[in-house]
Amino acid sequence: MELTLNQALATLRRQRELVSRCEIFLVCGFQPLHLATFLKAHFALRWPDRAADVREGLYGDLDGTLASAAKSSATAAAVVIEWGDLDSRLSFRSAGGWGLSAEQDILANCRGRWAKILERLKDLASRMPVALVLPTLPIPLFGHTAGCQMGAAEAELGKYAAIFLADAARLSNVSILHPSHLGRLSPEVSRRDPNMELAAGFPYSLGHASVLAHQLVQLLCPLSPMKGLITDLDDTMWSGIVGEVGAQAVTWSLSEHSQIHGLYQQELRHLSEIGVLLAIASKNEMPVVEEALRREDLYVPGTAFFPVKASWGPKSQAIAEILRVWNIGPESVVFVDDSPMELEEVRTAFPAMTCLHFPKRNSAKAIELFEQLRDLFGKPAVHPEDALRQSSIRAAEQIKEAGGQQPGSDFVRALQGKLTFDARKDGSNKRLLELINKTNQFNLNGVRINDGEWLRHLEDETGFAVGVAYEDRFGPLGVIGVMAGRQNEGVVEVTSWVLSCRAFSRRIEHHMIEYLFQRRGATAIRLAFKPTGRNGPFQEFLRSMGVENGAAGDLEQQALRKPDDLPHEVRTLEND
Amino acid sequence: MTDIQVRLSACFANVFPDLKPDEIPQASQESLAAWDSVAHITLLSAIAEEFQCEMDEEFLETLTSYKRIVEYVEAGSAKS
DSSP type of residue A225: P
Looking at the complex, does the CB of residue A360 fall below 8 Å from at least one CB of chain B? no
In terms of domains, do A460 and A354 share one? no
Cα–Cα distance, A106 to A89 (Å, whole number): 8
On the question of pLDDT at A267 being above 90, the answer is: yes
How many domains does chain A fold into? 3
A121-140 per-position pLDDT tens digit = 999 999 999 999 999 999 87
The confidence band for A304, taking pLDDT boundaries of 50, 70 and 90, is very high
Q: A447 vs A252, A438, A535, A553, CA distance in Å?
A: 44, 10, 11, 13
Does A33 touch chain B if contact means CB atoms closer than 8 Å?
yes
pLDDT tops 70 at residue A160: yes
Does residue B49 carry a pLDDT above 90? yes
Residue A51 and residue A143 in one domain = yes
Clarify whether residues A428 and A366 are in a common domain. Answer: no
The minimal CB distance from B50 to the residues A6, A34, A195 is found for A6
Residue A2: its pLDDT value, please?
85
List, for residues A222-251, the tens digit of each pLDDT value: 888 999 999 999 999 999 999 999 999 999
User: Rounded distance, CA A143 to CA A325, Å?
Assistant: 62
Beta bridge mates, A497: A483
Picking from A377, A395, A420, the residue at the C-terminal end of a domain is A377
What span, in angstroms and rounded, lies between the C-alpha atoms of A266 and B60?
Answer: 58
User: How far is the alpha carbon of B14 from chain A, nearest alpha carbon, in Å?
Assistant: 5
3-class SS at A229?
Answer: strand
CA distances from B47 to A205, A324, A488, B55, B56 (A): 14, 55, 54, 9, 12
Same domain, residue pair A37 and A178 = yes
Nearest CA in chain A to B58: A199
Question: Residue A28 forms beta bridges with which residues?
Answer: A80
Query: Looking at beta carbons, which residues of chain A come within 8 Å of B45?
Result: 5, 34, 196, 206
Cα of B56 to nearest chain A Cα, Å? 10
Torsion of CA B65, B71, B74, B76, to 10 degrees: -90
In this prediction, residue A67 has a pLDDT band, given cuts at 50, 70 and 90, of very high
Residue A398 belongs to a domain:
no
State the ipTM, two decimals: 0.92
Mutate to test the interface with B, among A2, A3, A4, A5 (most CBs of B within 10 A): A5
Q: With a cut of 90, say whether residue A319 has pLDDT above it.
A: yes
Domain holding A277: CATH number? 3.40.50.1000
Averaged confidence pLDDT in chain A? 91
Confidence of residue A29 (pLDDT cuts 50, 70, 90): very high
How far does A343 lie from chain B, in Å, by closest CA?
42
**Three-class DSSP category at A54:** strand
Mean pLDDT along residues A557-568: 68
| Whether residue A216 is found in the same domain as residue A237 | no
Identify the band that residue A551 occupies on the pLDDT scale cut at 50, 70 and 90: very low
β-strand partners of A488: A491
Q: Per-residue confidence at A47, pLDDT binned at 50, 70, 90?
A: confident
**Statement to judge: residues A197 and A340 lie in one domain:** no
Assess if residue A480 is contained within a domain. yes
Angle between helices A206-220 and A33-46 (to 10 degrees): 50
Query: Residues near A228 by Cβ (< 8 Å), separated by ≥ 6?
Result: A276, A277, A278, A279, A322, A326, A328, A332, A333, A334
Provide the CATH number for the domain around residue A463.
Answer: 3.40.630.30
Looking at residue B26, its pLDDT comes to 94
Chain B interface includes A206 (CB < 8 A): yes
* A307: preceding bond cis by omega (within 30 degrees): yes
Pairwise CA distance, residues A455 & A433, whole Å? 10
Q: Looking at the structure, do residues A216 and A80 belong to the same domain, yes or no? A: yes
Q: How many CA atoms lie within 13 A of B29 on its CB side?
A: 16
Whether residues A429 and A542 share a domain: the answer is: yes
Nearest CB to A33; choose among B38, B54, B57: B38
The amino acid sitting at A135 is P
Cα A261 vs. chain centroid, distance in angstroms?
A: 27
- A195 to B54: CB separation less than 8 angstroms, yes or no: yes
* The predicted structure's pLDDT at residue A122: 97
Q: Is residue A103 part of a domain?
A: yes
Query: In this complex, is the C-beta atom of A195 within 8 Å of any C-beta atom belonging to chain B?
Result: yes
Contact A466, A515 (CB under 8 A): yes
Smallest CA–CA separation between A60 and chain B, in Å?
16
**A:B CB pairs within 8 Å:** 38
How many Å apart are CA A330 and CA A432, to the nearest integer? 24
User: Residues, chain A, total?
Assistant: 576
Q: Residue A406's pLDDT band (boundaries 50, 70, 90)?
A: low
AA letter at A120: R
Is the pLDDT assigned to residue A53 strictly greater than 70?
A: yes
Q: What is the reported pLDDT for A545?
A: 80
> What string of DSSP letters covers A530-549?
---SS-HHHHHHHHHTT---
Residues above pLDDT 90, as percent of chain A: 70
- The whole domain housing A82 covers 5-220
Question: With pLDDT > 70 as the criterion, what percentage of chain A qualifies?
Answer: 96
Digit-coded pLDDT (tens) for A175-223: 999 999 999 999 999 999 999 999 899 999 999 999 999 999 999 988 8
Specify whether A168 is located in the same domain as A148: yes
Same structural domain for residues A329 and A452?
A: no
What residues does B36 pair with on adjacent strands?
Answer: none
